[in-house]
């Protein structure tokens, strides 16, 4: 049904819930699972989309360790094809997820949500909301933790 599934993780309990659902779906469908982490640095307005600055080494090591732990967990859950990616979000986590999913021809994106509503959602923004509105493929939102 979904040959490729991408799940966004950040180590939070919300992304943990999304990861579990994505891994179960990947196992059930025999899908490739890409576990994606997005590094987001405070915006610097001198950057252009042609130049993406490197991720600082201390963050890269931390993210890579987290991603490998997720990959091991997915394999232990029975997912056969697991890939991990760390990308620089530059300005927005949501747009980075959507761009990466398009570039890799992902068929399903799984993201968690904190379930914010009203003014909190307006002020803080929503990665899940952005992904739903802009993704080229199906999106599964996980509300449970």
Q: For every one of its 145 residues, what pLDDT tens digit does the chain have, with 9 covering 90 and above?
A: 899 999 999 988 888 999 999 999 999 999 999 999 999 876 555 555 566 678 889 899 999 999 999 999 999 999 999 999 999 887 788 999 999 999 999 999 999 987 555 444 444 458 888 999 999 999 999 987 5
Can you tell me whether residue 126 is helix, strand or coil?
coil
pLDDT, residue 121, reads: 44
53 is written with which tokens? 């600055």
Residue partners of 100: CB distance under 8 A and separation at least 6: 6, 36, 85, 87, 106
| Dihedral Cα 121, 123, 34, 39, nearest 10 deg | -160
**Which residues, including other chains, have CB under 8 Å from residue 133's CB and lie 6 or more apart?**
none
pTM: 0.86
pLDDT the model gives residue 119: 45
| Tokens at 38, concatenated | 């997005």
So what's the pLDDT on residue 127? 87
CATH superfamily, with its number, for domain 4-142: HUPs (3.40.50.620)
d(CA 133, CA 136): 9
The sheet carrying 138-142 orders its strands as 81-88, 32-39, 4-8, 108-112, 138-142
Instruction: Show me where the domains of the chain are located.
Output: 4-142
Q: What are phi and psi of 143, to 5 degrees?
A: -95, -25
């Amino acid at each position: 049904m979904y040959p490729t599934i991408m799940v966004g993780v950040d180590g939070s309990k919300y992304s943990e819930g999304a990861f579990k659902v994505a891994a179960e779906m990947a196992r059930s469908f025999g899908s490739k699972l890409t576990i994606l982490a997005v590094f987001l640095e405070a915006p610097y307005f001198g950057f252009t989309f042609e130049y993406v600055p490197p991720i600082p080494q201390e963050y890269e090591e931390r993210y890579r360790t987290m991603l490998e732990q997720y990959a091991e967990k997915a394999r232990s859950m029975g997912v056969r094809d697991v890939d991990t990616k760390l990308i620089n979000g530059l300005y927005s986590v949501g747009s980075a997820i959507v761009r990466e999913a398009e570039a890799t021809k992902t068929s399903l994106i799984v993201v968690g949500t904190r379930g914010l509503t009203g003014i909190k959602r307006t002020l803080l923004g929503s990665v899940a909301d952005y992904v739903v509105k802009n993704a080229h493929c199906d999106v599964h939102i996980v509300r449970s933790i």
